[in-house]
Structure 1
Amino acid sequence: MTQSSGTTGQPTTPPTDDKDWTFVTTQGCPDCGYMPTRVDEVGARVRATIDPWRHRLAADDVRQRPTETTWSPLEYGCHVRDVCILFRQRLGLMVTSDNPTFANWDQDQAAVEGRYWDEDPAEVAEQYAVEAERTAAAFDAVTPDQWDRPSLRSNGSSFTVETFAAYFLHDLEHHAHDVGISRAG
């Protein structure tokens, strides 16, 4: 992996992705093939990502970046682990608070502060499995009357629990695609 010129051994930070991905909640994603799902399938689709991520994080090239400014599979694994934690926390607020607003989460800053490139791949695989299962269970626990509960992102984008679930699931499946994990069925 190409290192930055800094003294920390930190890889070069990828360019910020400022694309508004909210379109995937209704249209799907032409890049990775993601299609929104029925709300009763969210937990199962999250769980379906666990074993493929375990296998990918066990590969010999887990620390290799395909380009200097593209995360390695390990860095993406850390990211999806943290996405599970963040989205589960936000889901909890959505079902217990009236129309919460969520601050922007700087994923690049999280990667640098967490030193994703230095993490142990086997530990990340197990941490992801735990966090993905917990988040799947949280979505499984959403009651029919809660799927329409609203929230706002800091940029003004509005979500319901249902569209929030689609946005979250896309993140997991898109990053699996990014590291070469084939879509199941």
Structure 2
Amino acid sequence: MSIEPDTKDWTWVLSQQCPECGLTASDVVPVEIGAQVRADLPRWEAVLTRPDVRERPSPDVWSPLEYACHVRDVYVLFAERVELMLDQDDPLFANWDQDVTAIEHDYASQDPVAVAEELVAAGDVIARVFDNVAADSWDRTGRRSDGSTFTASTLGQYFMHDIVHHLHDVHA
């Protein structure tokens, strides 16, 4: 069985607590995002050393390895988006289909050791990007093609929900 694509609009996490992972994204302090990313990296490294790293809990749920690949790619994507917001006025973000990316990059077959190294490197980059957002730049905006508008602050909160939620998904 293949994984059903996630077509939900997760922007609701900016206004209410997620019942699955428990995070209230609006409580995330944007200037603390870099530190939180760094604090979570060892948890992801530990996930990638587990003996069950390639096992899906059910055929329609990603394995811990697949989630880690996704998080690595989320780090890269959000670093690009924040930098766009800081460099351009109200940029329109390129569309990204996480499910297509998982298939095209064959997440399930990737090497967990390499993924750990890449995830940590990408995590360091996104942490630095958030660390370097100037105090007067947190209100800069960017948009998705579906009409969702973010500030650098709310994009960071939305990003942190994704990371925390996936740590919950892999029981880390």
TM-score, structure 2 normalization: 0.95
The match for 1:97 among 60, 76, 88 is 88
Render the CA deviation track for 1:141-179: whole Å, top value 9, x for unaligned: 000111000111110011000000001111111011001
Larger mean CA deviation between 141-150 and 101-110 belongs to 101-110
1:84 matched to 2:108: no
Aligned partner of 1:14 in structure 2 is 3
Do 2:6 and 2:99's aligned partners in 1 also have CA atoms closer than 8 Å? no
Structure 2: distance between partners of 1:136 and 1:109: 26
Q: Which runs of 4+ in 1 moved over 4 A?
A: none
Aligned partner of 1:26 in structure 2 is 15
Render the CA deviation track for 1:48-95: whole Å, top value 9, x for unaligned: 210011011100000000111110000000000000001101111000
**Structure whose alpha-carbon radius of gyration is higher:** 1
TM-score, structure 1 normalization: 0.89
What percentage of residue pairs aligned between the two structures are identical? 48
Shift of 1:46: 1.0
SS in structure 2 of the partner of residue 155 of structure 1: coil
The match for 2:100 among 106, 109, 113 is 109
Over the residues paired in the alignment, what is the CA RMSD in angstroms?
Answer: 1.0
Do 1:64 and 1:72's aligned partners in 2 also have CA atoms closer than 8 Å? yes
Residues 29-178 of structure 1 correspond to what in structure 2 (within 5 A)? 29-36=18-25, 37-178=28-169
Do 1:13 and 1:108's aligned partners in 2 also have CA atoms closer than 8 Å? no
Structure 2: distance between partners of 1:105 and 1:20: 13
Structure 2: distance between partners of 1:39 and 1:112: 32
Structure 2: distance between partners of 1:148 and 1:28: 22
Structure 2: distance between partners of 1:122 and 1:25: 33
Q: Which runs of 5+ in 1 are unaligned?
A: 1-11
Q: Aligned pairs, how many? A: 170
Structure 2: distance between partners of 1:140 and 1:88: 11
Structure 1: distance between partners of 2:93 and 2:51: 37
Do 1:150 and 1:160's aligned partners in 2 also have CA atoms closer than 8 Å? yes
Larger mean CA deviation between 57-66 and 34-43 belongs to 34-43
